A and B are shown apart, each in its own frame.
Chain A
Amino acid sequence: MKGMTIIVKNVTALLAGLVFLYGCYIVLHGHLTPGGGFAGGTIIAGSFILLVIANGIQYFRLKKEKEESSMFEGAGILCFLLLATGGLLLSVPVFFRNLLPGGTPGELFSAGVIPLYNIFVGIEVAAALLSIFLAFVIYKTEE
Chain B
Amino acid sequence: METKLIIILILMIAGAIHSLHARDLLSAIVSYGVVGYSLVVGFLLLKAPDLAIVQIVVETIALIIMVSVLIISTREDLAEKSTVKIKGQSYVNIRNLSFVFFALVTGVMLLYFFNIVTTGLPELGIHETRMATEYIANGVEGTGSINLVTAVVFDYRGYDTLGEATILFTAVMGILAILRLKTHKI
Contacts and interface: CB of A to CB of B under 8 A. Distances in A.
Contacts of B58: 42
Contacts of B171: 128, 132
A65 B158 CA distance: 31
A59 interface: no
Contacts, number: 138
Contacts of B147: 30-34, 36
Nearest to B53: A39
Interface stretch (B5-13, B24-32, B159-167): B159-167
A114 B151 contact: yes
A142 B164 CA distance: 32
A31 B176 contact: no
Interface in B58-103: 58, 60-61, 64-65, 68-69, 71-72
Interface residues of B, number: 44
Interface of B: 49-50, 52-54, 57-58, 60-61, 64-65, 68-69, 71-72, 140, 143-147, 149-151, 153-155, 158-159, 161-162, 164-166, 168-169, 171-172, 175-176, 179, 182-183, 186
24 contacts: A31-B144, A31-B150, A32-B147, A34-B50, A36-B50, A36-B154, A38-B54, A38-B164, A42-B61, A43-B57, A73-B169, A73-B172, A96-B158, A102-B144, A105-B140, A110-B144, A111-B145, A117-B161, A128-B172, A131-B176, A132-B172, A133-B64, A133-B65, A142-B186
